[in-house]
């Protein structure tokens, strides 16, 4: 029917107009083809980690390999915090060193996960991010009060007025800025040629490892910085684009990562210099990269893994919040000191599992509250034209 209609139009219209219409139609088809190719080019290599097919609009079942990595990375952070914040100076050095070294990759891996998929910034995503942090900080306040501790008015006001900036979560403070800058970062990376991107990654790596990791450049002296987050984000973005890197065997990737971490453990054990395993150290960075490559090659589809992974952020917010800093780590230290080794380990494992269970439940409640709050904010903005930006998106 459409073909017949087109022929009728071509018969009726004068030749110059037919030529113009045909050219416009071809140009539109070419544009649509370019859009589709562009959308596909932003998908992870192999396409097995796609969360949403932005061309078709369908939501296929999520591949679980990177979600599994998310669980592993958060477990590294939880275990590392238990040792460094709760059991430092209590656990024997010969056990403390290898465990903390192997767990030190968790933070870099989280930055890489974000870079691999790319942060899609919008007002809604920022709103949900801040609401989630605020919700868990309120949970921390409740736990502190239940523990019989006191919170000053200044503490409460800081939480309400600056839920991210005044929080104890340094990672989320850095991540918030990465979210805000994501449109600029993504645009810069997307518009680089492969050759230019390789040069940029090499230069950025040299700066991070040599100038910052060894020279303690003030822009990134220890890895707890925006610069480190952007660097790991860039590395993961580069890995997604350069399929040749992914041709390395996953077992070789894992073996290299373990070898690097073993070298870091030995160096830390004999020198007591934490710079060997800092976030911006060459050992941590390359071990994180090879761990990431290993998981990117796995083929896993599991609803359970995806569900557990959704609780990752909540685990961090529960463990390293005000309650954890004031009481949680102290409780863990008391458990380790006042019980037999086997009993202490079992109790700490139970606490570790409870982080995941309670986080899953609280994230469900937090997401529900965030959705309701967003709906209310959208309703208000429809009646306040000046607040129409709430509907906007930066990409």
Percent of the chain surpassing pLDDT 90: 68
pLDDT value, residue 244: 63
Q: Using 50, 70 and 90 to split pLDDT, how confident is the model at 2? A: very low
In this structure, which long-range contacts are made by residues 260-263, counting pairs with CB atoms below 8 Å and at least 24 apart in sequence?
260/286, 260/287, 260/290, 261/101, 261/102, 261/105, 261/287
Residues contacting residue 227 through CB under 8 Å, at least 6 positions apart: 208, 212, 219, 220
Range of lowest pLDDT (134-138, 332-336, 389-393): 389-393
- 7-29 per-position pLDDT tens digit: 443 444 444 434 444 444 434 44
Query: Buried (b) or exposed (e) across 307-324, using 16+ Cβ within 10 A?
Result: ebbbbbbbbbbbbbbbbb
Q: How far is CA 232 from CA 35, 120, 298, 364, 382, in A?
A: 28, 17, 21, 29, 39
> What average pLDDT does range 201-210 have in this prediction?
95
pLDDT value, residue 287: 97
Q: Are 132 and 313 in contact (CB under 8 A)?
A: yes
Q: Which residue shows structure tokens 């100038």?
A: 211
pLDDT value, residue 275: 85
- 110-129 per-position pLDDT tens digit: 999 999 999 999 999 999 99
- 215-234 per-position pLDDT tens digit: 889 999 989 999 999 999 99
State how far the Cα of 170 lies from the Cα of 112, in Å rounded to an integer. 17
pLDDT value, residue 13: 42
> What average pLDDT does range 91-107 have in this prediction?
94
Reading the block at residue 118, the tokens are: 């790319």
pLDDT value, residue 99: 95
Q: What is the pTM of this model?
A: 0.82
Range of lowest pLDDT (56-60, 85-89, 164-168, 242-246): 56-60
pLDDT value, residue 346: 97
- 268-309 per-position pLDDT tens digit: 999 998 888 899 999 999 999 999 999 999 999 999 999 999
State how far the Cα of 256 lies from the Cα of 241, in Å rounded to an integer. 22
- 42-61 per-position pLDDT tens digit: 333 333 444 443 334 445 55
Reading the block at residue 249, the tokens are: 């065997």
């Amino acid at each position: 029917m459409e073909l017949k209609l087109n022929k009728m139009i071509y018969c009726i219209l004068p030749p110059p107009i037919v030529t113009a219409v045909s050219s416009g139609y071809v140009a539109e088809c070419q544009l649509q083809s370019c859009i589709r190719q562009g959308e596909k080019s932003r998908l992870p290599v192999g396409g097995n980690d796609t969360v949403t097919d932005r061309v078709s609009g369908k939501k296929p079942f999520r591949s679980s390999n990177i979600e599994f990595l998310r669980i592993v990375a958060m477990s590294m952070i939880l275990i590392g915090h238990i040792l460094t914040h709760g059991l430092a100076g209590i656990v024997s050095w010969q056990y403390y060193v290898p465990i903390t070294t192997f767990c030190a990759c968790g933070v870099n891996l989280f930055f890489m996960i974000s870079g691999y998929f790319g942060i899609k910034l919008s007002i809604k995503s920022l709103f949900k991010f801040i609401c989630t942090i605020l919700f868990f900080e309120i949970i921390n306040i409740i736990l502190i009060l239940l523990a019989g501790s006191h919170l000053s008015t200044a503490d409460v006001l800081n939480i309400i007025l600056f839920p991210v900036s005044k929080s104890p979560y340094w990672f989320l403070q850095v991540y918030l800025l990465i979210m805000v800058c994501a449109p600029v970062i993504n645009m810069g990376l997307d518009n680089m040629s492969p050759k230019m991107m390789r040069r940029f990654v090499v230069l950025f790596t040299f700066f991070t490892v040599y100038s910052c990791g060894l020279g303690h450049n003030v822009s990134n002296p220890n890895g707890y910085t925006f610069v480190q987050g952007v660097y790991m984000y860039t590395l993961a973005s580069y890995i997604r684009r350069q399929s040749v890197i992914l041709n390395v065997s996953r077992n070789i990737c894992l073996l290299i990562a373990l070898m690097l971490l073993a070298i870091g453990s030995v160096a830390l054990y004999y020198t007591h210099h934490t710079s060997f395993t800092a976030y911006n150290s060459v050992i941590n960075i390359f071990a994180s990269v090879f761990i990431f490559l290993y998981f990117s090659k796995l083929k896993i589809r599991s609803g359970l893994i995806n569900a557990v992974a959704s609780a990752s952020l909540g685990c961090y917010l529960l463990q390293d919040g005000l309650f954890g800093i004031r009481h949680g780590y102290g409780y863990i230290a008391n458990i380790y000191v006042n019980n037999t080794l086997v009993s202490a380990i079992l109790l700490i494992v139970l606490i570790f599992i409870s982080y995941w269970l309670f986080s899953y439940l609280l994230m469900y409640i937090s997401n529900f509250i965030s959705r309701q709050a967003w709906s209310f904010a959208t309703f208000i903005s429809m009646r306040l034209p000046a607040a129409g930006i709430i509907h906007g998106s930066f990409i």
